[in-house]
Every structure is written in structure tokens, then in C-alpha cells.
Structure 1
Amino acid sequence: MKPRATKVLVIGYVWPEPRSSAAGGHMIQILETFLTQGWDITFSSPAALGEHKADLLSLGIAECAIELNNSSFDDFIRELAPDIVLFDRFMMEEQFGWRVEKHCPDALRVLETSDLQSLRDARHQRLKDHVKAHPGSDDFGTLFAPALEQEFQLMAETDLAKREIAAIYRCDISLMISDVEIRLLTEQFKVPAALLHWCPLMMVPPTTAFAPYEDRAHFLSIGNFRHAPNWDAVLWMKSSLWPLIRQQLPGAQLHVYGAYTPPKATALHNPAQGFHVMNWAEDALQVMTAARICLAPLRFGAGIKGKLADAMLCGTPNITTPIGAEAMGDAQPWPGAIEQSAPALAAAAVALYQDRERWNQAQEHGRHLLARRYDQSAHGPALLACLEHCWRNLAAHRRTNFTGSMLRHHAHKSTQYMSQWIEAKNRTL
């Protein structure tokens, strides 16, 4: 008799949109890796359908809408009886973790963190404090890439960090897109390394020739406008960085692409200044390939940056900050430039835009970096091996994580009673 295929349930914070965000792209990469094993996948989410949702059915992935604080999920998961449950972001583990444990206690619980939201939020607050204390400053060197101990001090008192790291403990394994964040968790928060698995973007390194320097023009910036670091970068470009570039390159043009463009972003559109807000890109790789330089002046954020990985995939050198480059590179040369102030970013962008030889070198640096750090043929099997090992040794794995067991015991009880109270209250309305 043919053995039953491994059943995987994904509980998504949102329905994946790989053409709108790096998080959506990473989720599709994970799902495609599971499919290579013939695993039977169901993707569920309580979220409304997004404008650019991936066609999961065409991939052979079942879809199911679920509700928060509703016992209908109990019947659903009992009938499905998954072997592996993947929570997309810690909020989904908070909402559904106790139900999963109650009805499928032997299922491997996996958390896809995407990035450490508590780190991103702490850095955002630090940026706000800096801007308030130093109005008009365009040098953020003191904010970028501080020691891990300083990051810990920023995060440790926040409710968000306590919630997020508790969810990491409650799960059997957490997928971390950033090895810097793994170091932060293990060295500062003392999370056991056995609970974390490095799973960066998984890409097929390019082997064909890139579009050459002569066939490219203009600067490009791209990113989902709903993601706060992207919106902040656009505002900084508009107010500080882009005027400096235009002073040196009066004919320069910047094309700003992003999903879910709000009116406040459209209002920045100014062709006379060469600042073009282009809305959503139907094919992000196509517009990236047409550009000569990718600008990513991120002043805060976490995880790794899909736009910079896409730039390398397309052979487009980039100009970014230490936040943008964090966890993306290694000791080898960066495919562009990393700077900490608006004047330095502008000078690097202009120099790279005009220097064909340096531009070609940066392009090749990106090719080699993709092959070293993001090769799908390495990370896909490593992910599968990690999950298989944890699943087949689940009892022993859980015995080494008493803290997680303790947190599940206490937190899930309170979450369960709150959820049941909300459900009962909703029935009376």
C-alpha cells in the first residue's frame, strides 16, 4: 500500500501575494519546497482575499477560509488531521495554537517568522526618537547596526517582544529569514538554537547574461506601501535623497513602484522633479531589469530585503543603508554601495550610475552573492531535512523545550478562555 502523503496545514496571516511583498514570495518558496516532496498542503487564513493573491489552486494547494474565535476551526482541523502545522507570523500562533495543540497534539508546530516584528517596531521607535531629538538631520549612522546587546535593550521591555518570543518557544521550530536575528535570539534572549532554523529567500542563481549597462536607464525604488519601512524610505527619498541626486544629475528619473499605493503616495508624484510614483508593478523583475540603479534607503526594518535579492537576480546594482544590507551579504564586496546619510547615499548613487566599469563589477558581485547565500538547491533540502528530523523525533525534541511547554500550558489556557468568551459574546449579538 502506498504510504499516505504528509499533510501540511498553513495558517496564514494573509493570503500570499508573491508579487506584492518579500514575505509573500518567501511563503510561496516554502510551499513549493513542500510540493517537491509530494506533501498534501492546505492553506487557510482568516484574512480577506488580497488584490494580488497567488493562485494556490493552480499549484495543487487546497484553500480554506477560517474564522477567528470560532469553534468551526476545531472541526476543520480534526477532520484534516495535519502532520505539520505552519503558522505564518506569531499572531496566528497566538490565535490558533491552542486549538491545534488540543485537537492535533502530535502535529509538528512550525512558525514562519518572516522577520522579527518586535525588532522592526523597536527600531521604528528609535528612529522617531532620533528625528524628534535631531530635526533636520540626514545622518543616521548612530542608528544603524548597533550591537546586539543594544537591540536587546530596545526590545526587552516591549509587550510585542514578549509575545513574539513566547510564540517562538511554544512552537517546535521557527523559520528565521535572517541569521542576524538568530544571533540576537540565541545570544541575547537565550532562545535555544535547536528551536531556530535559518531559511532565507530561496532563489535559483542566474546563469545567463544580464541586461548590460547601455540598455538600462533611471533609478528605481520598489516595495509594498503598506510596509512601514518602505513608506518611510519613500518619504526620505522625496525630502532629502532625491533632491541631492538631481542636483548632480539634473535629468535623472526615479520610478517608485509599490503595491497598494495610497493617496498620500500618489500625491508625491512630480514629473518636473523626475519623481514618478508608478503604483504596482505587474512584473517586478521586468521593471528591475530595465533600471540602472535600485535605491533602497531604509532607515529601519528587520529580516532581509526581497527588493535587494530581486535586484541581484536582475543584475541591478543597489544603493542601500546598513539596515537594508543587514543579514543579506557576507565578507565579500556588496553589489553596489552601503551608506548611512543622505549625502553619502546620493554621492554613491550618482557615482555608480555614471561609472560603467564599477557598475559591471557590482552586477557580478550580486550574481556571486546570490549563489553563496540564497541558492534554492541548498536551502530547500535543508528546510525539509530540519522538519523531517523534528517531526520524527518530536517527543525528544519537545522534552528539551520545557520553557515552551510551560508557556503553552499557561498562555493557551488564557487564550482559550478569551477566545471562547468572544465566540459566546458574538453569538448573542
Structure 2
Amino acid sequence: MSATTPLLIIVGYVWPEPKSSAAGYRMLSLIQLFLAKNWRVIFASAAELSPHRFALAELGVAEHCISLNDSSFDNWIAEQAPQAVMFDRFMLEEQFGWRVEQACPDAMRILDMEDCHALRDARHQCFKSGNPVNAQALNSELALREVAAIYRCDLTLVISEFEMQLLQQHYAVPASQLCYCPFLMDNTSLSNVPDFNQRQHFVAIGNFRHAPNWQSVLWLQQSIWPLIRKQLPQAELHIYGAYPPPKATALHNAKQGFLIKGWADDAVSVLQQARVCLAPLAFGAGLKGKLLDAMRCGTPSVTTDIGAEGMLLDNQWAGIIANDDIALAEAAVTLYQHVDLWQLAQKHGFDTVQSKFSLKQHEQRIWHELIQTLQQIEMHRQRNFTGLMLRHHAYRSTKFMGQWIETKTRLAALSNQT
């Protein structure tokens, strides 16, 4: 490969686990986007090497372990001289953004939000308090940090059309700082999926470490599933997800058909075998990878307005949307029993994947926005006065805090040696 081949360095929150979470799948699709354009990619992370991580070396992607609050990162990234650096979530931009700007000032800084953390947190807090989401909840300290990171970066990848609108209308972020980048499906819908009569039971799937998924399991167990079982006494609910804690496995109840299955080696196979996917999400943000996978597998789903957010095609859902216990249970039973409705929902799911999440549809536009920003980087930054101002002030505080922690750690190590 030529020495002039452009380089992207991704500073990852965790090592990509596409079979464990939608975030892992999304990160892998972004890596593949750059590789397809003949860029080199290095993935760097301070996280522990997880057992379910994707083998990036198979794609020709180098892995590099880094440390928080350690100037060794500065020397390493300066030697790499990347053309672009991508931060995986805003917390990584806070940790490493000032170091990247100092070591590689000409490198384009990209933020991949994954989802809008401020929105997810606001909904979570309001769910716990029983209050509706309002401006005060959206203007949290977390929101101040996240939006500041967006301004400090050159371009931010936003996964949801709803969040694109929220960032521009509520937080007044200029459109020039944002790039709509949903899930990018290469092989869109799967062929030869089992039909209605070849499937049985219900499925729910999602990483147990993700708070909206855990709340969804509790909602199913406490309220929704008992209502479904009254009408379908032979039905089972198979619940899959990475990293199930003891409190989750304790909910397993074979007598009630409430089965905690844990890690799914093949999520596609699991979804294809089920007749209906259940995803009653009370809070959350971004796009729901499990619901996109359900569409690809031809599995109609029952979810909430929050679950379907940003994923509707022509204001229609590939299943049924409901928002309370009784309505969700009735929707599940209806889809499970009525083949005509089920087949229409399946077809709409295939259409949604093809129309909204096809790589071919979005690839050219996303790449154009990335390259245009890179080629006009200085002009782009000068137009972003708020970003200039925030980097002037905020980077100084985060820089000095990082240097203080590094010095403190070094002195502690020296003290232990003596």
C-alpha cells in the first residue's frame, strides 16, 4: 500500500462487538466505508480487549492499545500523522480531542455520536421521575458537554433523522456541522426467510448492559408478557442479549414461557425462527439495531414510539406501535395470530430496509460531505466561531486536568517505588 494512502485513526470507546450491540455493528460499517475508499484504518482504544470483539485484523485494520491521561498518546498519534481522527462518542473527544488538535492540527476531527446521549439521558431521568421530557431536561450538564464536543469537531455523524432535527432546532447546531449517517446495510434484506407457518414464539433481543434494554425486559416480565400468555398459553418469549447479569437470569421462568437465553451466537437465526419481535422501549435514543435486524429477517415487531423513532417509512411501521401494557399485549397477539397482517408487516419491513438503510443510497452523500470538509478544513473551522471559542476555553481546562492526572499518577508510581 502506498505511503500516501490516507489514514483514519478511530479512538474507540470499546472494541467493536457487532454481534453484541448495534453500536458495534455501526462502527464496523463505518470502518468498512473508509476501507472501501482505500483508506488505511487504525482502531485505538483504552478499553479492555473483550472476548466478543470483532477480529479487525481480518479486514486489514491495525489495533492499538492506548491509555487515558497519558502523553504517550500524543507522541504515537503525531508519528502516525493521520488525515482524519474519529471519536467514538463525545466522551472520547473530551479525553483525546485536545491531544489530537495539539499533535495533529491539520487532521479532520470527526465525532460519531452513536446516539444522542443527552436525549437518552433526559428520557431516562424523566421516566424515573414520571415527568414528560421538557427543555430543562434536555438542557442537562450532559447535553452541554455533548453539544460542546459537536462544535469542537469538524463534522459529527448523526444516526437518526429525529436527532438531526433536535440538534438543529433545539440546540441550534448549524447543519454544516452535522452529517446524517444511519445504519448502512450492504446486504439489505435476507432472502428465503421462513414464512408465517414455519415460525413460532416471540423474541426479544438486546445487550443487557444498555439501560433501555434492561427496562424493556422488566416491562415485559412484570406487565406485558402475563397479558400475552393469557391469550396464548402455549407461547414462549425467548430473550437474548450479551452480558446478562444475575438479576436478568433470575427472571427465567420456564413455567410461564419467559426464557432468558443470554448470548446469541447468531442473532439472524434467532430472529428468523421467531414469529414476532417484542421491543417495548420506554426510553432511549438513536436507531434500534434489533428492530432493523428484525426487518431484514422478515420478522414483524411490536414496539413503542421511541423504539420506532427515526425508522418509519411513509409514516408506517413494520408491525404495530403501541405505548401501554394492554395495547402492546394486544398488538403482539394480533400480529401473532393474523397471517395477512403479519405478511403486510413483513413486506413493509423489507421496503423500509431497502429505502432507508441501504449503503448504496447513503454512501455517496456521506463520503462527499466527509471529503468536502477535509478539503476545506481551514475555511470550515473559521466559519464555526462557536467551535473556535469552545476549543480556546474548554480544551485548556480538559488539557490541564489531563496533565494533572498524568503527573499525579507518575508521582504515585515513583512514591511506590521508594
TM range (shorter): over 0.9
Q: 1:256 aligns with which of 239, 243, 262?
A: 239
Q: Aligned residue for 1:370? A: 353
Letter aligned with residue 157 of structure 2: L
Q: Aligned residue for 1:136? A: none
CA distance in 2, matches of 1:314, 1:152: 38
Q: Aligned residue for 1:327? A: 310
Q: Please give the residue correspondences for 1:66-85 in structure 2 after superposition, counting only pairs within 5 Å.
A: 66-85=66-85
Q: Aligned residue for 2:282? A: 299
Letter aligned with residue 75 of structure 1: N
Q: Aligned residue for 1:242? A: 225
Letter aligned with residue 76 of structure 2: F
Q: How many Å apart are 1:219 and its aligned residue?
A: 0.2
Letter aligned with residue 81 of structure 1: A
Q: Aligned residue for 1:24? A: 24
Q: 1:357 aligns with which of 324, 340, 346?
A: 340
CA distance in 2, matches of 1:2, 1:237: 54
Q: Aligned residue for 1:171? A: 153
SS in 2 for 1:287: helix
CA distance in 2, matches of 1:151, 1:11: 33
CA distance in 1, matches of 2:411, 2:105: 31
Cα deviation 1:124-152 (Å, max 9, x = unaligned): 0111111xx8xxxxxxxxx5xxxxxx554
Q: Say yes or no: does 1:160 pair with 2:142.
A: yes
Q: Aligned residue for 1:199? A: 181
SS in 2 for 1:269: coil
SS in 2 for 1:295: strand
CA distance in 1, matches of 2:276, 2:367: 36
Cα deviation 1:21-64 (Å, max 9, x = unaligned): 00010000000111101101000001111221010011100000
TM-score by length of 1: 0.94
Q: 2:377 aligns with which of 364, 371, 394?
A: 394
Compared CA separation, residues 279 and 2, structure 1 to 2 (3 A): closer
CA distance in 2, matches of 1:303, 1:416: 30
Q: Aligned residue for 1:93? A: 93
Q: Say yes or no: does 1:338 pair with 2:321.
A: yes
CA distance in 1, matches of 2:53, 2:226: 36
Q: Aligned residue for 1:290? A: 273
Letter aligned with residue 404 of structure 1: G
Q: Aligned residue for 2:416? A: none
SS in 2 for 1:202: coil
Letter aligned with residue 350 of structure 1: V
Q: Aligned residue for 1:11? A: 11
1:6–1:39 CA contact under 8 A, matched in 2: yes
Q: Aligned residue for 1:57? A: 57
Q: Say yes or no: does 1:428 pair with 2:411.
A: yes
Q: Aligned residue for 1:127? A: 127
Q: How many Å apart are 1:244 and its aligned residue?
A: 0.4
1:119–1:151 CA contact under 8 A, matched in 2: no
Q: Aligned residue for 2:255? A: 272
What are the ranges of 5 or more consecutive residues in structure 2 without an aligned counterpart?
413-418
Compared CA separation, residues 120 and 207, structure 1 to 2 (3 A): closer
1:257–1:277 CA contact under 8 A, matched in 2: yes
2:190–2:296 CA contact under 8 A, matched in 1: no
Q: Aligned residue for 2:393? A: 410
Compared CA separation, residues 207 and 245, structure 1 to 2 (3 A): closer
**Over 4 Å off, 4+ runs:** none
- How many residues align? The count is 411
CA distance in 2, matches of 1:113, 1:129: 26
SS in 1 for 2:278: strand
2:190–2:297 CA contact under 8 A, matched in 1: no
SS in 2 for 1:217: coil
CA distance in 1, matches of 2:401, 2:6: 32
Q: How many Å apart are 1:386 and its aligned residue?
A: 1.2
CA distance in 2, matches of 1:59, 1:7: 15
SS in 2 for 1:246: helix
CA distance in 2, matches of 1:230, 1:333: 23
Letter aligned with residue 87 of structure 1: F
Query: Percent identity at matched positions?
Result: 51
Cα deviation 1:376-419 (Å, max 9, x = unaligned): 11222222211111000111111110100110111111111111
Q: How many Å apart are 1:209 and its aligned residue?
A: 3.5
Q: Aligned residue for 2:415? A: none
Q: Aligned residue for 1:210? A: 193
1:319–1:337 CA contact under 8 A, matched in 2: yes
Cα deviation 1:233-271 (Å, max 9, x = unaligned): 000000000000001111110000010010000000000
Letter aligned with residue 159 of structure 1: E
SS in 2 for 1:210: coil
TM-score by length of 2: 0.96
CA distance in 1, matches of 2:340, 2:223: 28
CA distance in 2, matches of 1:218, 1:29: 31
Q: How many Å apart are 1:3 and its aligned residue?
A: 7.1
CA distance in 1, matches of 2:154, 2:215: 35
Q: Alpha carbon RMSD of aligned pairs, Å?
A: 1.3
1:152–1:184 CA contact under 8 A, matched in 2: no
CA distance in 1, matches of 2:193, 2:364: 28
Q: 1:181 aligns with which of 132, 155, 163?
A: 163
CA distance in 2, matches of 1:257, 1:189: 36
1:254–1:276 CA contact under 8 A, matched in 2: yes
SS in 1 for 2:403: helix
What are the ranges of 5 or more consecutive residues in structure 1 without an aligned counterpart?
134-142, 144-149
2:305–2:321 CA contact under 8 A, matched in 1: yes
Cα deviation 1:182-209 (Å, max 9, x = unaligned): 1111011110010001100011322633
